[in-house]
Structure 1
């Protein structure tokens, strides 16, 4: 064998011995980790609520009469005291003229009777009759004047007017519903809260909510009323929260998904909820040390909100825990951190 070939075989043999002496590579479990941090958490109760107008009224006629004029367009905004309907007033004006004449006559008789009574020309009973007729005439005049005013039906407050329920030329009677007005600038969010939360319900407490029509928009309100009565059937208490509806986006009758604030924790110790593991021994997490080795540690959990878990005991700020991949881990296992 020539010398170059002999040297080549020797080098190959030495390389094989060195490779077999290294042994198998160390196995590490790929996981996603997260550091324990502090953040603000708000404990909220989720409820379904209904939006109602703070002020709502059905406009009715106070007298009998025929509709002569309608002073609004359906669905528009009206101002306070704006004329909505005008009824025919011809008969009432005639009654008013008659009532004024009867009052003048009754007043003359009353004044004459008072002189006659002083002169003892008539007795007290006759004078009392004249006085009663005078007062009755005054009352009939007052009523005729009120009826004339009632021929013009006005908005009791500013708001949005609904559909008209009568038409021009239609005869209406006292108490006929003619339209509806709601004050949509100021709404009330009404919901029923389980009685166990009664102690945390306070006037002025903040409330946030979404609606089906605006799922991405967060609206704010504040508690204005907590009923003193608990419903005996479902054990809930009615709560109302005032909502400023300045842009008119919200409508009475809408449903709202409400978040009622129960407590606020401005400096809570938190981890991702996915880091928690559960067993008969309780709740635990896999903690990673500086050598990327894991140990199981029991923890006490408080709030669990939107994927975050509040840690009351067992961890410190800055501890590193496994949030993905801990299913394949065991105490003492080595990990590889992945993004």
Structure 2
């Protein structure tokens, strides 16, 4: 049985003349429309044309600006030794999450501890001497000068104790902030010297993302612009953030400016050094959006078939002005309002002023395949 296509292609051949390139329609564009047309129920002369519609929606929209960026930790430090001594204690494991102030490494400090105890004993002795002389001086049994000398010696030993306590901090390395430690490349008993790198610490619950954009976009960049980023390590996930700051200089070679964004990383999956694909959402706004399949191009103009639900599903051919596009969707600047119903599939058999048979409304919850399957089941019932 021969199937006749429910539409004809508006392409004519003129002998002796080459066809304009814009009249050649790629097969991969026509094939989905042909298959869908064959799948839709065919209308007889007196039947209404069967169509699938889409609802005009109001959605968040922006003009994307794409770039590549590199992640950095919000805070990052390499803890190193400031004295020459052996490692006495290690209190962390590779990749462990630590808290600010937590003791990570203790170097051997027995000699310094002994000096501190001696200084504390001397302080106690001189404090007692000050007390005795003060009591004697109150009874006029000791000169005031002796009291003042003893108080000065007490202050001296107290200063020495403070110096010893400050030097002891060089033998104890604590985490300066909450973060994740790196690999442990030293062992207890290892001799370290000033400048020896002992362990890295990164604060990664918030990540800094540095990327470059051409200077022509400098006027539209500002702190607070929303963005999304994607990593090859997590291809199905988008990480949200916003522009934090914009570089103060333009690179004279690449004519680009460095932009720094911040990304939340509560699960600590992102790591410093990762390459990220960045999409900055310029001019964020609420836009009237339709699927691209509802558009009927005619030269430089675009039309849609609007279904008047209050008037027996009668069709109205309406001109629209489109704005930006993204995959499968188009922004409508003029001609449609959110909530209206437009024909998305079956346009080839429709004419303005006719009433149509609505098979279903395609949206995020209902696909075209589900609508066609439900229609076939109803026909077989």
Fold shared, TM-score > 0.5 on shorter chain: yes
User: Counterpart in 1 of 2:292?
Assistant: 273
Taking the aligned partners of 2:301 and 2:342, their CA distance within structure 1 comes to 14
Taking the aligned partners of 1:295 and 1:178, their CA distance within structure 2 comes to 74
TM alignment of 1:235-254, pairs within 5 A: 235-254=255-274
Aligned partner (choices 253, 260, 267) of residue 280 of structure 2: 260
Contact kept? 1:58, 1:179, Cα under 8 Å? yes
Contact kept? 2:320, 2:335, Cα under 8 Å? yes
Aligned partner (choices 33, 37, 42) of residue 61 of structure 2: 42
Moved more, 212-221 or 190-199: 212-221
Contact kept? 1:35, 1:317, Cα under 8 Å? no
TM alignment of 1:214-233, pairs within 5 A: 214-233=234-253
Deviation at 1:180, TM superposition (A): 0.3
Deviation at 1:181, TM superposition (A): 0.2
1:307 matched to 2:328? The reply is: yes
1:170 matched to 2:211? The reply is: no
Taking the aligned partners of 1:233 and 1:337, their CA distance within structure 2 comes to 61
User: Counterpart in 2 of 1:282?
Assistant: 300
1:193 matched to 2:219? The reply is: no
Contact kept? 2:53, 2:358, Cα under 8 Å? no
Indicate the structure (1 or 2) with the bigger Cα radius of gyration. 1
1:54 matched to 2:90? The reply is: no
User: Counterpart in 1 of 2:374?
Assistant: none
Taking the aligned partners of 2:225 and 2:252, their CA distance within structure 1 comes to 25
User: Counterpart in 1 of 2:124?
Assistant: none
Deviation at 1:204, TM superposition (A): 2.4
Change (3 A) 1:195 1:297: farther
Deviation at 1:162, TM superposition (A): 0.7
1:75 matched to 2:95? The reply is: yes
Change (3 A) 1:329 1:284: farther
Contact kept? 1:52, 1:253, Cα under 8 Å? yes
Q: So what's the TM-score if we normalise by structure 2?
A: 0.57
Contact kept? 2:304, 2:320, Cα under 8 Å? no
User: Counterpart in 1 of 2:84?
Assistant: 64
Contact kept? 2:301, 2:319, Cα under 8 Å? yes
Where 2:204 maps in the other structure, the secondary structure is coil
Taking the aligned partners of 1:192 and 1:54, their CA distance within structure 2 comes to 19
Deviation at 1:182, TM superposition (A): 0.5
Contact kept? 1:192, 1:237, Cα under 8 Å? yes
Taking the aligned partners of 2:237 and 2:106, their CA distance within structure 1 comes to 42
Where 2:261 maps in the other structure, the secondary structure is strand
Taking the aligned partners of 1:28 and 1:301, their CA distance within structure 2 comes to 33
Deviation at 1:175, TM superposition (A): 0.8
Contact kept? 1:33, 1:320, Cα under 8 Å? no
Deviation at 1:54, TM superposition (A): 0.7
Deviation at 1:195, TM superposition (A): 2.8
User: Counterpart in 1 of 2:175?
Assistant: 155
User: Counterpart in 2 of 1:121?
Assistant: none
Change (3 A) 1:55 1:61: same
Q: What is the Cα-based RMSD across aligned positions, in Å?
A: 4.3
Residue ranges of structure 2 left out of the alignment (5+ in a row) = 1-43, 118-159, 360-381
Contact kept? 1:63, 1:147, Cα under 8 Å? no
TM alignment of 1:21-40, pairs within 5 A: 26=45, 32=51, 34=53, 37-40=56-59
Deviation at 1:141, TM superposition (A): 11
**Matched residue count:** 274
Q: So what's the TM-score if we normalise by structure 1?
A: 0.63
User: Counterpart in 2 of 1:6?
Assistant: none
